[in-house]
Structure 1
Amino acid sequence: MLSDKLICETTPVDDQCFLLSFITGHYFGPDINLRRPEKSALQRVKEGLPPYSHSQLAGSQMKTTELERIYYYIVREADPSVVVSLHSLRQFLQGHFQTSNQVLKSAYPQFPDLFPPRLHPHALSDSQQKVIENVVFINSPDISFIKPEDIKRFKKLTGLESLALSRDEARHYTCATGTGSNGGSEQESTAKEEPPSVILHRPKKTRHINDLTDSDHLDPLCPKCKGPFAGMTCAPVGPSVTDMENRPDQELIPAMVYLPSQPTIEELENIVAATRSGFALTGSAAKARVGATVGRMDIGECNDSYLFRASLPGVKRDEREFSCEVESDGKVLIRGVTTTGEKTVSRHSQVFQMKTQNLCPPGHFSILFQLPGPVNPEHFSGKFCIDGIFEGMIKKAKQ
């Protein structure tokens, strides 16, 4: 709930503070285990919910760049005078947003006021990307408790007709940021990192599965692929030749080489031989995505039931460490532990240093997805097969 201590005349700084607190307070909330639907930080304050502890949190990580993208997506149609620069936004996230007006300081909470650092620390992931722990994005917040005047003001400042957002558009939004009225032009881009997955959450001491394949998202239907290569798999390529010359001591980001014609076996062997620890895929394997595959799934439907299959390679089948919970609204939560992706592997008194780590990293994980409709949890059966496929079947709820 935003404070009633508002100054009489709205100023650009006042509007900036209002939007910062409104967006972070209503579109984000703590990622609490088994809490569905998620409640925003300000909704929890309004409802007087008790404080949560660290043990109740899911252990997820949100990249700071994702939060930045969402902010700039929401204010994309707003007047530049009410949009803060990227530098100022990051100050706000750290609780250091500067304003000389004491009333504004007490009226609008900063990010650490809503998400205490002891429960939501700012950290670096294993891939050296800035993350905030245990925070979840709520693209369609509950507005029943928000003051009508606050909703009206928010819509007027942002130009939005509704508070509901497209989750994918907000998380993938890219623009040259840092052009707000507070802090000058910085011309930084929040598009330098890929957004995190909304399916898989990693505890803080393990790597997010998407961190392993940030630049390897292959899109066989990419609209940018035209001409003779239309329909081929594509992925972001490395830096330009100029960039390579300017940074000879740095490793290149992952890249993909396109071949205009089908290579011979000898040509393919020569290409692989030119790489260090490289490998080639042929046949049906070449049609799939390269990298970690935990969490991919298929969902089927018949007259009275749903069937789903989840790919869980390298996941322990021990019932003490694996569970699948189904709620009546069709939400499915799978929890488990992966054992692959280690940097070293011991076998028969020998220790192997892994040259590649394309499998899922070791640690706890959770997968949350939604079935097409409501179900009857009492009529659920699941089977974890030795091929790494978990199959579940559940009856639909009677209408």
Structure 2
Amino acid sequence: MEQSSPASQSEFAQEPTNSTPKARVGASTNDQRFLLVFILGSYFGPDLRDEVPHKSALQRAVMGLPPYTAEQLVASVFKLSEIESIYYYALRNAHPSARVKLQSLYKFLQGHLAPPVKETLEDMRQFTAFFPHHLHRHARYKGTYKVVESMVFIHDPETSYMKPEDIERFKRLSGLSELALNWEDARSFQHGQRSDRDEERQEIRGHPLIVTETISERRKRKKRESQLELLSTTSPVPVPQKEEKVDWSNNKLGATMLLLPALPTVDQWNAVINAAKPSIVLSGTAAVRQSGPLIGLVDIGTCEDAYLFRTALPGVKKDDGDFKCEVECDGKVMIKGTTTTGESRMFKGSRLFHMQTQYLCPPGAFTVSFYLPGPVEPNQFTGTFGSDGILEGIVMKQRARTGAASLIFES
């Protein structure tokens, strides 16, 4: 364990410590890396379906527990902004040299934090050593904020597996007397590294920049904009509107009932037109869906020289590069993508909702394939994927059969 020199400690002791009750201890680069591994490895663990209580990532590593698979994980999400807040909250009483900047924290989370030039690291592990990308993806949830999938917060980590010297080192560097953290205070801690954690930010090589506009300045600007909008839409002379009264005394409708037709089953959708060409083939999460809005509903239109198809794809990602639509010469259309709906748990604001019934398609990869009425020219295919979740494509009919070919349409 590296300790700072006496000269550096006396230099740190001269700094004002009004925000903390006791003197703070300066940290080396090795201390910074130790705190990153300790906090993100002790206070977070995989969200395993059958594990109660949850074990932290460091606890699993020390105990030598077997690796888990994606099927064992719960489809939950954890905000990156909350991970930031918890890290800085745990070091709120620490010397500034113990905390890394926000860009370095993000590099550590992505597994790209470079080693120091003048020191040899005691611990080379990064966040991805505990939470590998293929099991805990970094994604954008509902297109608003960034998340890490299938991860939980452990506010009072188990200490039986920890070395006593590691616990003392953490307490000395963090300025904390105990390891337990308050969940609400930690997740909402304002660390001041940027102005607004849930709005879109500029990025350089995938790492967020710190926005110079403060929270108060942003609020004042939004207030001015809302006032200007109100002045521009308000009539100069308000005209009183006469309230219309409805007389319900002669209402003779009484109770009514609306009958909805039953949705078709997967077997009905997979009915065979002929032995070679099934109408619609579903696989992946689309094939195991329950009743409700369906993925893969298809309408096909024809004209003299082209075919038009429209496919319903609610809750399908279209901006991550993993969505594609392939059209082949014989008229086969293959759609591949990833759904984001049907979660078993949902975060809304500061609340976690456990979904009781899942009528939407479970999250994950899917494929939908169907055949157009005849052969086509794949090179003459245009498609659009609207915000309403409808994929629409127009492909020209085949004039002269040439060989097998396909065209990939990516959003």
TM-score (norm 2): 0.46
TM-score (norm 1): 0.47
Larger of the two Rg values belongs to structure: 2
